[in-house]
Amino acid sequence: MRRGNLKARLLIGLVVIGFAFMRRCSQQETNPYTGRTQAISLSPDQEIAIGLQSAPQMAQQHGGLHPDSRYQNKVDEVGQKLVVNSSANRSPYKYEFHLLADSQTINAFALPGGQIFITYALFSKLENEDQLAGVLGHEIGHVLGKHSNERITNADFWKYFVMGASAVDMGAVAQQYGQGSLLKNGRGDELESDDLGVLLMLNSGYNPEEMIGVMQILKTAAGPNRVPEFQSTHPDPENRIEKIKEAIIKYKKAS
């Protein structure tokens, strides 16, 4: 009887896992801005809708928008310059740039579809317009790279994979492997966004070397107790600096 139950569970598990892989294969497409093949489940319109719906809550979590219109106008000016002078201008996304009032959290982030945020804590530490362009270019890179879309799709895949593995008591192992895979993909997203950020800066007449200064700011902010790279969704700033230098050489040679 037990053997029969095990066979049934194994069959159910294999069916669920097979469904997860078939679904993932049907979602594969080549990103026109990176050339990378990735699993995507949301349309551009869905990405835009998610971003617009989530934007007010994200702003509220960081103390709302910054009240100084001069600073906000500068963020808009630099962000739109990066969009207009690059392939981002041909994308289906609607880019909006927001300066958040948060003076404690050094951060910038992008929501699907083009909603981009930078906190005043980070904005106030930037030394020049080129560094601001580096931050915003990196975030535009996340949008063009469809990283949130890909993350949602991959999380959905691992949910079904773990469900199938649980049928044969391997759910914990599958979940641990899935979490490691998602962390690794997250680090890859950051490097890809840095690479795109360099290209956007060059296209718009900004000095991409200033991205290195941004990395130094982030490294200082993280302090000596920063999370080891293998436990983090972000690569170590030193590794990012090396990749940025490589991207600068690559794109300057191509121009």
Distance of CA 25 to the CA centre of its chain: 22
Query: Does residue 12 have a pLDDT over 90?
Result: no
Rounded-to-integer distance, Cα 94 and Cα 96, Å? 7
Rounded-to-integer distance, Cα 182 and Cα 39, Å? 13
CB half-sphere exposure, 132, CA atoms < 13 A: 26
The SS3 of residue 136 is: helix
pTM beyond 0.85, yes or no: no
Rounded-to-integer distance, Cα 18 and Cα 26, Å? 12
pLDDT, position 8: 66
User: 91-100, 147-156, 243-252: which range is least confident on average?
Assistant: 147-156
- Picking from 81, 78, 97, the residue whose alpha carbon sits closest to that of residue 89 is 81
**Are 119 and 57 contacting, i.e. CB atoms less than 8 angstroms apart?**
no
- Going from N- to C-terminal start, the domains of the chain cover 2-254
- Picking from 81, 79, 109, the residue whose alpha carbon sits closest to that of residue 96 is 79
Enumerate residues 6+ apart whose C-beta is below 8 A from 190: 233, 234, 235, 240
Looking at the DSSP bridge assignments, the partners of residue 29 are 38
Token readout for 203 is 């296209």
Query: Does residue 127 have a pLDDT over 60?
Result: yes
Q: What is the mean pLDDT of the chain?
A: 83
pLDDT, position 178: 42
Other residues' Cβ atoms within 10 Å of the Cβ of residue 219: 15
DSSP state of 232: S
Give the position of tokens 């095990």.
6
Token readout for 149 is 């879309």
Residues 235-253: what's their mean pLDDT?
Answer: 91
Rounded-to-integer distance, Cα 227 and Cα 3, Å? 46
> pLDDT digits over 156-191, tens only?
765 655 565 555 555 443 355 445 444 444 678 999
Query: Does residue 223 have a pLDDT over 80?
Result: no
**Are 208 and 201 contacting, i.e. CB atoms less than 8 angstroms apart?**
yes
Rounded-to-integer distance, Cα 82 and Cα 114, Å? 13
Count of H helices and E strands in the chain? 9, 5
**Are 140 and 110 contacting, i.e. CB atoms less than 8 angstroms apart?**
yes
